[in-house]
Chains A and B, each alone.
Chain A
Amino acid sequence: NAGVMQNPRHLVRRRGQEARLRCSPMKGHSHVYWYRQLPEEGLKFMVYLQKENIIDESGMPKERFSAEFPKEGPSILRIQQVVRGDSAAYFCASSPFRDRNNEQFFGPGTRLTVL
């Protein structure tokens, strides 16, 4: 049973370009969470999705950021018109149920560098 997979592991973009980060949850998990870790800071929650639904996006920046988790395929975190301040590690986690006692399992992260 493969763990949570994220790709790419490293992504370099120039200012103004778009970044697409992908997350495939563990088999059998239908809940996905995205977190961002800025340099020298702790991880911060961004968004929580279930298949085809955004459950909680209270941590998402209001502009340029969007997330989806389609019925088929991975969850996508999309950042439009990237700026240097978007450089960070983006982690995805998954869990099997919408149960607050469920453990979240993390992927290896995507390290985004904006030049």
Chain B
Amino acid sequence: KQEVTQIPAALSVPEGENLVLNCSFTDSAIYNLQWFRQDPGKGLTSLLLIQSSQREQTSGRLNASLDKSSGRSTLYIAASQPGDSATYLCAAVTGANNLFFGTGTRLTVIP
């Protein structure tokens, strides 16, 4: 069964700093990996989706990488802003076509 882990559980950084969020998964036979953002009391906003054949995806200040062989993905956020404060979730799709979520990293960007 797929297990997804995210480290750290919480992170506080000063505004403007670059940061990396980590995601690891136990079953490397994934079809894709998605990164989401969740604001308190709100739904999920999809940030990036990386297909299993891809190594990375970029959207604005966000860059996500995928290393299937090592079971790892990272989300890089450049020049962080207070508006980036949220919980970031990674999720892997395996054979059953449903998403296995990590427990998230709660990010606080301090002005």
Contact yes or no, B101 A44, CB < 8 A: yes
Chain B residues, Cβ within 8 Å of A93: 99
The reply to whether B43 and A109 form a contact with Cβ atoms under 8 Å apart is yes
Instruction: Note all chain B residues with C-beta closer than 8 A to A43.
Output: 44, 89, 91, 99, 101
Q: Who on chain A is nearest to B94 by CB?
A: A100
Main SS class of interface, B: strand
B30 (CB) vs chain A CBs: closest residue: A100
Complex CA–CA separation, A42 to B91 (angstroms): 10
B103 adjacent to chain A (CB < 8 Å): yes
User: How extensive is the interface on chain A, given as a class?
Assistant: 20 to 34
Residue of B42, B44, B52, B100 ringed by the most chain A CB atoms within 10 A: B44
Q: What 9 new A-B contacts, CB under 8 Å, besides A42-B4, A56-B97, A106-B43?
A: A33-B99, A41-B103, A45-B96, A55-B97, A98-B97, A103-B46, A103-B49, A105-B46, A111-B41
